[in-house]
Structure 1
C-alpha cells in the first residue's frame, strides 16, 4: 500500500510540475514589420512570452520590477531600444518611435512605429537579440509583410542580425 501511495504522489507531483518544465522547453519571439497605409507609418509589433520578458526586466532593473510600476513603460522602452534595431536599404539605422505595450496572463506585445513609407523592405537589415542574453536557445523571427507577401528572417544568439532577402 505504501508503494502504491508513493507512486501516486510521485506521479501527482510530476504532473503538477509539468507546466513549469514545459514552459521552458522553447524560447520563441515573433516580430511583424508592416506598412499601414491608413497611418502612413511602418508598424512594428513584437510578441513574447510575458514571464520571460518580466524575468529579463527584473534582471536588468531589479527584483521589484512589475508591469504596474509607474516606471515600467519607460523601462520596457529602454530595454527594447537596446535590443532591437532596423536598418534601411542604405544601411542607415531607422528611428523607431515607441507606441506602447499590452499584456495578458501569457504574452506581452510591444509596439513601435516608423514615420516613413518604404516601397518595400528588400535589403533592409534587422538586429534582434531580445531575450537572447537571458535564454541561450531563444529564437526570434522577424516577418516583413508587404502587398507582395511576407519575407522573414530567423535570428539566434549566434546570428542575431540579418538582411531581408526578398524573393
Structure 2
C-alpha cells in the first residue's frame, strides 16, 4: 500500500509541477513611443514566448514553431500587426509599417513604426492580438513621449481606447 501511495503522490506532484510551468500569461505589453529624434511613432509589442508558442499552434497549425521557424515568426508578426491599429478621433487611419521582430529571452517582440502626423491631438487604438483566441487575454499599452505616460488596458469586451494629448 505505501508503495502505491508514493507512486500516486509522485504522479500528482509531476502533474501539478508541469501545470505550473505550462501556465500561460495571457498578457502582452506594448509601447507606443513618440520619438522626438526621428519624429516617428515607434510601436513595440512584447509577448511571452510561451504564449506565442501556444498561439501559433492554434492559429497556424500544430507544426508551427515560433522558436525555430523564421516563417512562423513572420506569420505571428503579421498576425499581431493586423490586429493593432491607430487612428485619429475623426477616423483617419494612421498606417503602420513593419519594423521587424525578434526573440529576446522569454519574449517575442513585434515592431512597427510610422511618421508622426502633424496636429495629433489624440489617438484611438485597437489592440486585439490573441484576444480572438483567449477572451481572458489582456493587452496593455503605454503611450510615451507626448506628455505624461498614458496607459490603456484592453480586456473583457473593450475594443477601442483613446488617449488625448495636451498642448504646450
Q: Is contact 1:57–1:79 with CA below 8 Å preserved after alignment?
A: no
Taking the aligned partners of 1:70 and 1:8, their CA distance within structure 2 comes to: 42
What 5-or-longer segments of structure 2 have no aligned partner? none
Shift in alpha-carbon separation, 1:79–1:138, aligned structure 2, 3 A: same
Is 1:114 the counterpart of 2:111? The answer is no
For residues 53-110 of structure 1, what are the alpha-carbon distances to aligned partners after superposition, in whole Å with 9 as ceiling and x for unaligned?
Answer: 2322222222222233342344123212321101124321111110111113521111
| Equivalent position of 2:100 in the other structure | 100
Taking the aligned partners of 2:3 and 2:69, their CA distance within structure 1 comes to: 49
Question: RMSD between aligned alpha carbons?
Answer: 2.6
| Equivalent position of 2:38 in the other structure | 39
Q: Is contact 2:77–2:101 with CA below 8 Å preserved after alignment?
A: no
Shift in alpha-carbon separation, 1:14–1:123, aligned structure 2, 3 A: same
1:45-64 superposed matches below 5 A: 45-64=44-63
TM-score normalised by L of structure 1: 0.81
- The number of aligned residues is 164
Q: Is contact 1:100–1:112 with CA below 8 Å preserved after alignment?
A: yes
Q: Is contact 1:141–1:152 with CA below 8 Å preserved after alignment?
A: yes
What 5-or-longer segments of structure 1 have no aligned partner? none
Shift in alpha-carbon separation, 1:7–1:70, aligned structure 2, 3 A: closer
| Equivalent position of 1:161 in the other structure | 160
Shift in alpha-carbon separation, 1:164–1:58, aligned structure 2, 3 A: same
Deviation at residue 127 of structure 1 after TM alignment: 0.4
Deviation at residue 37 of structure 1 after TM alignment: 2.1
Shift in alpha-carbon separation, 1:11–1:161, aligned structure 2, 3 A: same
Deviation at residue 163 of structure 1 after TM alignment: 1.2
Is 1:9 the counterpart of 2:22? The answer is no
Q: Is contact 2:138–2:153 with CA below 8 Å preserved after alignment?
A: yes
